[in-house]
Structure 1
């Protein structure tokens, strides 16, 4: 079972990392295209800046889940080194639970925002699912598509926090728990 969980964890990490890389590439491409069109051809696209911003926002929210999973968020490793191993373990698990709670908040209020958000981006076209097929809509992408990343990221943050807690508990039981990337705790 542990091997299956490790395999799934690796697949999810690689998928999120790939999404982040693609979004970063798109962000750069949209920016370069917009700048060239604006200053060289004097005909900027109306959608260039918006897609750059949306790519950036989605990149940051996907990266948040990766950060939680890798425990790369801000931590006070120096304080953990002064505390007994079990105490530092408990403090880290407390913070992982707080982050899990943040993920729940993102899910709950994110879904509410997505379902109640009105308005459309006049400069964006979009695709929709109608009558069992994907249909191209030539105008006005709903704004709820842009903020849909909030509940998605909330779910990913919750899963990452739970995976981090499970991993830490397993490592504590086997005696390989680390409170920092550089220092091992010997229980």
Structure 2
């Protein structure tokens, strides 16, 4: 069961990170497009700025699950380094519980905002609903839940090993 969950979690974390990378590419390409249209052609495309913001929001919320999976959660590193193994496991559970509480709030209110935003349109992109902007919160939160549980089952502490 544990191995099956970790396999699924690796797949979903890889998918979310690929999505985050794709959104970074989209934001970069649109940024270059915006520079060319504004300063070279002197005909700014107002819609590109909104799409850049949307891509950056999606990038962040799709990238966070990988940070959770790799143990880059809010933690007390000094306590963790000086604690015996049983205390470390207790700290793992406390950090996971606090992170899960935050993510569940983001999931709940993110979905609520997405539902309310269905009737709004994006400024500059009247044909696109704000639902798609707000949807990044619950989608990212769902991926984060899997990352938090995955880190609890199979801890990775890469941030402690690479910290300077």
> Aligning the two structures, in what range does the TM-score lie when normalised by the shorter sequence?
0.7 to 0.9
TM-score by length of 2: 0.87
Say which one has the larger Rg. Answer: 1
**1:181 Cα deviation from its structure 2 partner:** 4.6
**1:150 Cα deviation from its structure 2 partner:** 0.9
User: For 1:51 and 1:77, how far apart are their aligned partners in 2?
Assistant: 38
- Choose the corresponding residue for 1:165, options 152, 155, 158: 152
TM-score by length of 1: 0.77
- Report Cα offsets for 1:65-122 as digits up to 9, x if no partner: 1111111234332221211211121012111111111111111111111112242125
> Structure 1: 5+ residue runs without aligned partners?
125-138, 169-176
Cα RMSD of the aligned pairs, angstroms, is: 2.2
2:93 maps to 93
User: For 1:63 and 1:123, how far apart are their aligned partners in 2?
Assistant: 26
Corresponding residue SS for 1:140: strand
Corresponding residue SS for 1:141: strand
Q: Contact 2:6 / 2:150 at 8 angstroms: preserved in 1? A: no
| Equivalence map 1:1-187=2 (5 Å) | 1-117=1-117, 118-124=119-125, 139-168=126-155, 181-182=160-161
User: For 2:90 and 2:158, how far apart are their aligned partners in 1?
Assistant: 10
User: For 2:9 and 2:81, how far apart are their aligned partners in 1?
Assistant: 28
> Structure 2: 5+ residue runs without aligned partners?
none
Of the two structures, which has the highest relative contact order with CA contacts closer than 8 Å and spacing of 6 or more? 2
